[in-house]
Amino acid sequence: MPAGRIRAAVFIDFDNIFSGLLDLHPGAATAFAQEPLDWLERLAIIGAGDAERSYLVRRCYMNPAGWRTHAALGADRVCFSRYRPYFTRAGFEVIDCPSLTYRHKNAADIRMCLDMFESLSSATRYDEYVIASGDSDFAPLLHRLRAADRRITVLAGSQTAIAYESLANLFLDEQDVIALMTGVSADAEHDPLVATSRSDAPGEAPSALIDDGTLEELREIVKSALTSASSPIQLAALGLKLRSTMGDIVDETDWFGNRTLTQSIRALDLANVIVAGHHVWVDGKHEPPPLLQSQDRGVELPELVERVCRVTNTPMLDKSVWHELFETLGEYAAGDSVSLTECTRWARDRLEAAGLDVSRRALSFVAQGAIYMVAARWIESPRRRLLTLPLPSWPTP
């Protein structure tokens, strides 16, 4: 991101983000609802490089009669309206989106789309749209925003469609959003986030070290490494190469203002470059890493299973991993507290010690599936009775 000022507009689907986080990490959900100014300041420096991100528009779309129940909230029913003052105090315009149907469906997504679409013709040009929602129905809008040459940042509080993720210049998945809300990095290799504002004093802010020349050097190193590589590159190896080539600026700027090497590569917006798991590669030039390929110890997956996995980004793990994976997750779940961020980090380290390489993204996918399955069994509505039936055993290829 070049130096200067980024004129940003923030649009938040409160019901979507709060409900998604509440199922995964109640503490992050509470921080999202009660401390919007804090996490907004942390977000201001992510992926901005040497530029200053200014939030010219702050809008939060909320169902005033909406509510959720959760043991962690310490009440039988918590209404969304109780969090309205926190957003108004943080400078947000709160848009009421009451339920329009007996199923309690509101029109927040439509209102957000209309407002963003209208803002494209505003007298003020917004360089970036920050959309806090995991609803992939926004995908057509994101196509329009990209066509209008606007930068897109998406915050997803739950798993979402891969196509939706691909449309964003900066995509924060549920792990990243939890880290953003709690101020603790989702990656064990990185220090906790610090909720401090950027300093304008020369030489004090790490972002002052990031200029166009630095980013161009980063781009050339990554492109050169991918061009010369005959197979996907491990992120750890690429990180070592960047540190040895570019020196201390990598750590001084916390991966060029992006917090992680993965986000730094994605921010370069290189054509056909894919970052997933522990690898980076060029689609069409390199074969995906073994754990992402449609093979399992030489046994091909059924065509339908392979297609579903590729479209939904379901982890294709070796069949020998699954038993140990579920045993490890079960061991963690038997403890006193459950946190998705802590769970995936703990399980990854535990599996790594056992000689199994399983990414946190894969663990998060499985853990969230288990959480949703448990939640579905509590649904008593006759219209959703099918969700409470026992799940069939998955065939092992």
Residue in the structure block whose two tokens are 């509101």:
106
Q: How far apart are CA 381 and CA 95, in angstroms?
A: 30
**Where are the domains positioned within the chain?**
4-182, 210-288, 295-388
For domain 4-182, say whether CATH 1.10.10.60 is its number: no
Per-residue model confidence as pLDDT tens for the chain (397 residues): 445 789 999 999 999 999 888 878 888 899 999 999 999 998 988 877 678 889 999 999 999 888 887 766 666 778 889 899 999 999 999 999 887 766 667 788 899 999 999 999 999 999 999 999 988 889 999 999 999 999 999 999 777 777 788 889 888 888 888 888 987 654 433 333 333 333 333 333 345 567 778 888 899 999 999 998 888 887 767 887 888 888 888 877 877 877 778 888 888 888 888 887 567 888 888 887 654 443 333 335 677 777 777 666 677 776 778 888 888 888 888 776 666 777 887 888 788 777 777 877 788 788 877 766 655 554 444 434 334 444 444 444 4
Please, are residues 94 and 84 in contact by the beta-carbon 8 Å criterion?
Answer: yes
Place of tokens 């990598």: 250
- Strands (DSSP E) along 14-123, which ranges? 51-62, 67-70, 75-79, 93-96
Q: According to the model, what pLDDT value does residue 312 have?
A: 67
What are the backbone dihedrals phi and psi of residue 168, each rounded to the nearest 5 degrees, phi first? Answer: -90, 145
CA atoms 239, 242, 244, 246: torsion sign: negative
How confident is the model at residue 48, as a pLDDT?
73
pLDDT (0 to 100) of residue 102: 61
Q: What is the pLDDT of residue 380?
A: 43
**Taking CA 149 as the corner, what is the angle to CA 144 and CA 152, rounded to the nearest 5 degrees?**
70
The H or E element that residue 153 is part of is: strand 151-155
Which pLDDT score is estimated for 91? 93
SS (H, E, C) 98-114: CECCCCCCECHHHHHHH
Residue 337 is given by DSSP the state: -
